[in-house]
Amino acid sequence: MTRRETEFLVVGSGAGGATTAAVLAEAGRRVTVVEEGPWVDPDAEDAPEPFSLQEMAVKYRHHGSSAALGNPPVAYAEGRCVGGSTEINSGLWHRLPAEVAAAWRSDYAIDGFDQHQIDAWADRVESRLTVSRVPGAPPLSSALLERGAAKLGWRSVELPRVVAYDGGGRATKQTMARTLLPRAIVAGAHLEAACRVVRLLRRGDRVTGAVARRRRPDGTVEDLEIDAEHVVVCGGAIQTPALLQRSGIRHRIGRGLKLHPTIKIAARFPHPVDHEDVPIQRVTEFVPELAIGGSASRPGHVGLALADSGADIADVGAALADWERVFVYYASIRSDASGLVLAVPGLRSPLVTYRLTDGDLSRLARGLVLLGELLLAAGATELYPSVTGAEVVRRPEELASWWGSVDRSRTNLMTVHLTSTVGMGEDRDRTGADSYGRVWGVRNLTVNDASLLPDAPGVNPQATIMTIALRNAEHLLSRP
């Protein structure tokens, strides 16, 4: 057993962990960041292509194949590499809607969460990253959303992204591996990749460090014990509660999982559509209850979306042969259901469940029909919904058939937004941590990631996660 010592141990290097590490290291504190996944240089010549098989094998947990059990199950994906999910997401930047922040503040009794404070932290996060809009005209996959929304009189916006554009318009996503982690390292932080924290070590009402296993480049595994004066867990909404539970910390931990259930349509157009990137346009007419946007649509994604429709194999084959004219769009809802993350002794991965309500299914059906309406207005000629056996729709009057199709036995759902398995606020009966992420009952243990969000925000959560992480990291520095 190798022993190490640090002042602050940050577990996880994604949006929350990288923000925390940069704040602490730049304040002159001794910081060690431990990341379970590997370091994958995003600028290396042989870096995996976005959404390719290689990228999914290297950067995604479980090769991207995981699901919250329920009826229906909800497939989900998490990053597992240095930089976490910021390395694999679309980098879309959407600040927390003011009405959601106000509801969280009052419902969960969150101190220091006024709108002007949130805006100030968001400004500061954005100043540390490059948050920008596409220079010039948006790609066609985005313009189609805008066109459909305009025809229907719905609001839509081009979202900024955490992306830097060079003079030629070439985009470089500002992931944590390119931005805050290098800043933290320059400021003296130590990063340990391929190192999984097995459990936290406790003494009384304090944590004293962690036991971890590091995978060496030669494939052998080294056991580490890291002594720390303070531990900040930033493993995301699935791994953070699992680690806390494995460490014997269970009060309100792992309950209340929230996600954005997402239903998709593969839309065929009479013309080719760009497939290089994720659309930046969002239909905000129904936000935060319902968001409409576009997904990654490489050939594999188009194939999966078509297959999820359960359409006749000949139809699917014809659409697949024409994949350059097919693009995948989605509708995601704010769900009133919740789920559970439960660490099971002896198993590496926690059990994850999510029970959609009848109301959620109704909202998903509405989202599907509205999305279909929009895509037909945008010029789509064929719509394949991710509902097994649902009709392939070609005309607006056929959309009504989808209302009855979205049921528990046929609907294929996914999500990439998972939150709320710890929850922050002063209401101890409803939260696992205080208003600044300090875990109830453990004086020097903080959570600072998506787990803290008391509810699903209804928008891409990265901006909210980083804003709250900056706020909490600075509060941590101010504690005695």
Partner 1 sequence: MATTTTPHSARRAGWVASPAVLGFEREVVGALAAGADDRRRAAIDAWVDGSLSDMPEVLRAGVAAESVVLGAWWRIGRRRRDLSGFVAGLSRSRLGPLRQYARLFRSLVLFAELEP
The catalytic residues are 417
CB-CB neighbours of 19 under 10 Å: 31
Least separation in angstroms between residue 55's CB and partner 1 is: 10
DSSP three-state, residue 413: strand
133: left (phi over 0), alpha (psi -120 to 50) or beta: beta
Question: For residues 143 and 141, what is the distance between their CA atoms, to the nearest angstrom?
Answer: 6
Comparison of 183 and 213: residue with beta carbon closer to partner 1:
213
Stretch that binds partner 1, among 13-21, 60-68, 390-398, 441-449 (CB under 8 A): 60-68
Least separation in angstroms between residue 480's CB and partner 1 is: 32
46: left (phi over 0), alpha (psi -120 to 50) or beta: alpha
Binding of partner 1 by 219 (CB under 8 A): yes
Comparison of 222 and 289: residue with beta carbon closer to partner 1:
222
Binding of partner 1 by 5 (CB under 8 A): no
Least separation in angstroms between residue 40's CB and partner 1 is: 16
Structure tokens at 113: 């969460």
Beta-strand pair 413-415/74-76: parallel
Tell me phi and psi for residue 259, to 5 degrees.
Answer: -150, 170
Interface with partner 1 (CB under 8 A), residue from 164, 198, 201, 377: 198
Question: For residues 290 and 337, what is the distance between their CA atoms, to the nearest angstrom?
Answer: 15
Q: Are 34 and 197 in contact (CB under 8 A)?
A: yes
CB-CB neighbours of 287 under 10 Å: 20
Binding of partner 1 by 347 (CB under 8 A): yes
Question: For residues 380 and 325, what is the distance between their CA atoms, to the nearest angstrom?
Answer: 9
DSSP three-state, residue 331: strand
**Radius of gyration for the alpha carbons in the chain, expressed in angstroms and rounded:** 22
Comparison of 202 and 213: residue with beta carbon closer to partner 1:
213
CB-CB neighbours of 112 under 10 Å: 12
Binding of partner 1 by 3 (CB under 8 A): yes
Number of residues that bind partner 1 (CB under 8 A): 53
Interface with partner 1 (CB under 8 A), residue from 57, 120, 150, 477: 57
Comparison of 130 and 405: residue with beta carbon closer to partner 1:
405
Least separation in angstroms between residue 4's CB and partner 1 is: 10
Binding of partner 1 by 303 (CB under 8 A): yes
Comparison of 120 and 221: residue with beta carbon closer to partner 1:
221
- Could you list the residues that contact partner 1 (CB under 8 A)? 1-3, 49, 51-53, 57, 62-67, 69, 71-73, 196, 198, 213, 215, 219-223, 298-300, 302-304, 307-308, 310, 313, 320, 323, 344, 346-352, 388-389, 408-410, 412
